[in-house]
Structure 1
Amino acid sequence: MRAWRCSSCHLTTKDECMLFQKGKRTRILAKEGKELEALLRMAKGVKNREKQVLCMEGEWDEMRSRVIVASKWCLLLVKIGTADLAVVRQVKARHPS
């Protein structure tokens, strides 16, 4: 076995050097894979947050429309209620007890 000088500046066999380089490449690829996975997770997280915001906005719009409908009903009930009160007052005025 002859000595081999690799880029890491130590003398070793050619096979050990190849294994070292392969391990180094594997670590680099693993690191890049983790970074890519993190980016994908972050993008997925952003997408999910956007969906949540859109869902919340949709719920807000629905709730707001319900409030508008409810307020119209309240106004209608108030108008009917005051009309009923006016009729009752007129009846009482005509027929005092």
Structure 2
Amino acid sequence: MREVGLAALDTALAAGAPVIDVRERDEYLQVRVPGVTLIPLSEFVARADEIPDADTVYVICAVGGRSSQAASYLAGRGINAVSVAGGTVAWQQSGRDIEAGV
């Protein structure tokens, strides 16, 4: 499983790559990276068929622990998945745009 930084995530988002947020719904509603899709880690295995077919799938959580688990799971299924280092916390602290609410 690979880990990428925020600059790589910026590029991926601009290119329309899928970004899966594996935090729980309440965390997602508080703050998120614009354009991510929520599939909570607690539902991840049951909903893995919802992962889009793409060259690379980016996985993000709060700081990187849960996204690493999810990316490793996807890699085990033959999907090129990467975890975003620092997660949503690093994204927000960097001053990048965020979304909140529904």
After TM superposition, the score normalised by the length of structure 2 is: 0.19
TM-score, normalised with respect to structure 1: 0.20
Question: Higher relative contact order at CA 8 Å, sep ≥6: structure 1 or structure 2?
Answer: 2
Higher strand proportion: 2
